[in-house]
């Protein structure tokens, strides 16, 4: 029985990381957007032809996004309160 070849992906990633980053940094904004759009379209088209409960996954992702945004809003409200308290204590002194 033949085994599929095994690849050392961590070695490959370590060897290509710097050149990949340099390549991306060298792209113009339009080129970056075109690359993003191409990747998005590839995934979107693949998703359309694959079986799956995509609606449920979309709802789950949306709920996760809302949860994260609510946490961020709470954190920013707390930060504002702390800044107002510090400002008030500095003005009183």
Percent over 70 (pLDDT), the chain: 96
Confidence at 17, pLDDT banded by 50, 70, 90: very high
Q: Where are the domains of the chain?
A: 19-50, 53-93
pTM: 0.47
Is residue 1 over pLDDT 70?
no
Find where tokens 């079986």 sit: 51
CA 2 to chain centre: 38
Cβ-Cβ contacts under 8 Å for 32 (sequence gap 6 or more)? 24
Report how far residue 6's alpha carbon sits from residue 1's, in angstroms, rounded to the nearest whole number.
15
- HSE at residue 82, side-chain half, CA atoms within 13 A, is 6
Q: Where are the alpha helices (DSSP H) in 1-93?
A: 9-25, 29-49, 54-92
Chain segment 47-89, per-residue pLDDT in tens: 888 888 888 989 999 999 999 999 999 999 999 999 999 888 8
């Amino acid at each position: 029985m033949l085994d599929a070849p095994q690849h050392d992906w961590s070695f490959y990633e370590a060897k290509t990381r710097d050149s990949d980053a340099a390549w991306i940094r060298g792209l113009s904004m339009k080129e970056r957007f075109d690359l993003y759009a191409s990747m998005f379209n590839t995934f979107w088209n693949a998703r359309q032809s694959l079986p799956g409960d995509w609606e449920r996954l979309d709802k789950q992702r949306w709920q996760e996004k809302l949860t994260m945004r609510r946490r961020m809003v709470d954190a920013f409200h707390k930060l504002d309160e702390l800044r107002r308290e510090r400002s008030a204590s500095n003005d009183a002194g």
